[in-house]
A and B are shown apart, each in its own frame.
Chain A
Amino acid sequence: MAAAPRPDLRAIDAAIRAHVKKSLLRFNTCGSVDDGKSTLIGRLLFESKALFDDQLAALEADSKRVGTRPGELDYALLLDGLAAEREQGITIDVAYRFFSTEKRNFIVADTPGHEQYTRNMVTGASTADLSIILVDARKGVLTQTRRHSFLVRLLGIRHVVLVVNKMDLVGYSQDVFAAIETDYRKFASELGLPAVTCIPISAVKGDNILQHSAATLWYTGPTLMGLLDNVEIDETRVREQPLRLPIQWVNRPNQDFRGFAGTIVAGRLRKGDPIRVQPAGRTSRVSRLVAFDGDLEEAVAGQSITITLDDEIDISRGDLVVKADAPAEIADQFEATIVWMNEAPLLRGRTYLMKIGTKTVTATISPLKYKININTLEHAAAVKFDLNDIGVANLQLDRPIAFDPYEVNRDTGGFILVDRVTNDTVGAGMLHFALRRAHNVQWQALDVNKAARAALKGQKPCVLWYTGLSGAGKSTIANLVDKKLHSMKRHTYLLDGDNVRHGMNKDLGFTAADRVENIRRIGEMAKILIDAGLIVSTAFISPFRAERQMARALVGETEFIEIFVDTPLDVAEQRDPKGLYKKARRGELKNFTGIDSPYETPERAELRIDTTSLTPEDAADTIVAFLQSRGFLDFDEG
């Protein structure tokens, strides 16, 4: 027998090296068995030659035995894994499938459409770069299509493909497809879905899957495989964001080595980069990126790395390493969307473990703001979230964490909730924004001590209600006035926006509703202090006329002095003493007055202070003179 010719090892090596250059795209599929979803995935596996002969043989045998289409391969059978499900003819969980093209490898999360659907689909979509939403060409956009799209939007998936299946059953009609596309695009834009592509296919016949179909010559868009091969992978996108490296494990094999291991979830990291460790805020510099095969010069989002630092600073699991000049926000109160995944409902005020990145904290859920009807997208008041409910709630943590909004980064904004008794994963959530900005709220040292204000005699109590934009100079001026009054032996008290938010109004955020409540409480507080005989200053943005009017009514017309600290937005923004405008402009602070939340200029202020022409000292003098002229500082000898 002649020896077989030796294979060309160099050629094989080249082929392997070309093959391993492929990237990886993860996607999920939404739709029901009726839409032909399992058939579509089976078809993708089949077309990409991901099936082996023995699997095909098993498929043929299964198709004969339990298939739904006599004489044809039932691709759906490839996907039914568990025996119990096979008997029922349905799939009830998330299954992962693998196939590849010349350009890419794919992991498909198949999330079937029955009970537990929300939970399963959210799970499958959480790691997806793209979602395929299936509709039956004969039925068009259904309630379930809207539901799937809402969940896809919720999970922040950036590429959506509306696959209009069973085109063969509507005669490959362009009109049918166009009507569905128009219908869907309208809905998608209402929902705020990003890039949407609509493709007419037949999973059973194979039209527009791998190649453009001769039956749909009117369709000029990409084939399904063509699209999958070319859309951007999310990890490539987040690579351009500022560095986020949650520390997972401290590697300390001996006294001479102290490394910090973790997976980069955004940005990139180079040797020598200055870094900051959050939430504590300590800074250092990267001295090495340690790897098994020799140190790296640079690492990017998606890589699991080990770093060492120049300084012996204390870092532990759960800390977030960021670029020194581009930190994450730090907060302990949030608004978040929560997907409830447990039979036992989520109740207001209950405490759960919250795992976000590599950190686990305790979170108290309160209040539940509303539940979202995922079929109509309507909001409804809720006292609990049941299994598969989706709603918005506030979270209060036992300590501050570094985070990014989920919209910005899935890994620093996505979390799970764990029941402390059963240890079940009971919910998943997506952080929207901080309600109380631990990072931005600085404690203000009050210039007047408590003892000096203890007793009050001989003055007319009132409230000096300062209002104006962030950075207008309210606190500065109020402080000066307070000092001047104190030096005149007047008994005063200053309520400052930031200070009040640390205590009395700790539970409130920056939404319109919370701002209203914030001002209401301050008004009540001012009233009590006036009752105690003090000259009270309040320095709050208090942007809405209605709330200032409410405070005026509470306190009483004669004792309410509204002082409009008038600084144009561009001037305030230029001053930006706390860097908040920059953050707001970058979209990192939501509901920021002047940027994405309105400031309503006072119409009947007792005093208007123009800070573009007056120094803070002059302004304070003007206010004190005003008080004197109105008799508030006269001693009442009676």
Chain B
Amino acid sequence: MALTHLQRLEAETIQIMREVVAETEKPVMLYSIGKDSSVMLHIARKAFHPAVPPFPLLHVDTTWKFKEMYAMRDRMARESGMDLIVHVNPEAQAKGINPFTHGSAVHTDIWKTQGLKQALDKYGFDAAFGGARRDEEKSRAKERVFSFRSAQHRWDPKNQRPELWRLYNTRKQKGESIRVFPLSNWTELDIWQYIYLEKIPIVPLYYSAVRPVVERDGTLIMVDDDRMPLRPGEEPMMRKVRFRTLGCYPLTGAIESPADTLEEIIAEMMTARTSEREGRVIDKDAPSSMEIKKQEGYF
């Protein structure tokens, strides 16, 4: 019997994580609380068992996440025994940056992109695990597992190191850092199946429930708290919705779905007709928007 594809993916992810711990000085795991982060955290616990994973979790907070995400974040930090660092960009906080008045591009840039750079610089992390997958978006398909960033956190897509076999060159110049994507070869379906088989806890927002939403520019946005300004004529409606990806609630589209169990979510996935990123407002800014963000230092 050959190993199953999930066994092989898990083994590869573990190997990548151990390589980072063995070869870098101060790694950190970016924890965004979504399903990919949940899988990444779970595999980290397996990789270093019986030790607690020898790096902290870092949440670059925008203050605009769903309430249930914050609850899950604190619970998982407790359960894993790992240190949790929450970084909130003080500049964004002072200016009150939000997606409604500043738009998704500015909001994402200042809270997430700048916030991440600040946090990495502040703590001196030289390697950061991220949960990005190659199947998510075209420009991700070519990104390496180990992605080098200049001291200014810029990514140069034309100058990436070749990665052969299971060999990763982790050497870097002073000031440079590495973004490491141990889930590079996973697909969205792999993630869900793994969550199911391994019984990994996920934010309840992934399950369908009756939630207050408004339809805005063709996307269903959940009214998660009273900071969300309603447009004239907008009235929150109660709909049975769930989320395929999670981010800042004003920027995350819900889908109408009856799937309130993991089995049904996966059944939907296996017959899904749209990719998960369709629910993300951020990707639609401009052609190649994700790639431009990456070159600027977005994860």
Contact = CB atoms under 8 A, between A and B. Distances in A.
Given A418-B171, A425-B162, A83 B18 contact: no
Nearest to A416: B167
Interface in B103-160: 134-135, 138-142, 157-158, 160
**Interface residues of chain A: helix, strand, loop or mixed (majority):** mixed
Contacts of A84: 157-158
Contacts of B141: 79, 81, 95-97
Contact of A20 (B6, B261, B292): B6
Contacts of A302: 3, 7-8, 11
A16 B266 contact: yes
Contact of A83 (B8, B134, B167, B291): B291
A261 B19 CA distance: 10
B12 to A, nearest CB: 8
A64 B258 CA distance: 36
Interface stretch (B55-63, B67-75, B270-278): B270-278
B164 A304 contact: no
B22 A317 contact: yes
Contacts of B264: 7, 9, 12
A20 to B, nearest CB: 5
B49 A12 contact: no
B185 interface: yes
Contact of B142 (A95, A122, A291): A95
Contact of B196 (A16, A123, A416, A425): A16
Contacts of B187: 98, 105
Interface stretch (A159-167, A249-257, A507-515, A564-572): A249-257
A248 B23 CA distance: 10
Nearest to A7: B264
Nearest to B14: A304
A317 to B, nearest CB: 6
Interface stretch (A376-384, A407-415, A520-528): A407-415
Contacts of B169: 355, 416, 418, 423-425
A13 B5 contact: no
Contacts of A94: 142, 162
Nearest to B173: A423
B164 A428 contact: yes
- Chain A interface residue bracket vs B: 35 or more
A123 B12 CA distance: 17
Contact of B275 (A15, A54, A119, A233): A54
A601 interface: no
Interface of B: 2-12, 14-15, 18-19, 21-22, 45-52, 134-135, 138-142, 157-158, 160-167, 169, 171-173, 184-185, 187, 190, 193, 196-197, 258, 261, 263-264, 266-267, 270, 272-275, 278, 287-288, 291-292
Interface of A: 4, 7, 9, 12-13, 15-16, 19-24, 52-55, 79-84, 86, 93-98, 104-105, 107, 119-120, 122-123, 126-127, 233, 235-236, 248-249, 251-253, 257, 259, 261-263, 265, 290-292, 300, 302-304, 306, 317, 341, 353, 355-356, 358, 410-411, 414-416, 418, 423-425, 428
Closest 10 CB pairs of A and B: A24-B5, A253-B51, A304-B14, A83-B288, A126-B164, A423-B171, A12-B263, A23-B2, A81-B138, A292-B46
Given A261-B48, A411-B165, 19 more contacts: A15-B270, A19-B270, A20-B193, A20-B197, A23-B2, A53-B274, A54-B278, A55-B275, A81-B139, A96-B185, A105-B5, A123-B164, A248-B19, A290-B49, A302-B7, A303-B7, A355-B167, A414-B165, A425-B162
29 contacts: A7-B263, A15-B267, A19-B270, A20-B193, A22-B4, A24-B4, A52-B272, A52-B278, A81-B139, A83-B287, A86-B288, A95-B142, A96-B142, A104-B5, A105-B187, A105-B190, A119-B162, A123-B162, A123-B163, A248-B15, A249-B18, A257-B50, A263-B14, A304-B15, A356-B167, A416-B164, A423-B172, A425-B163, A425-B169
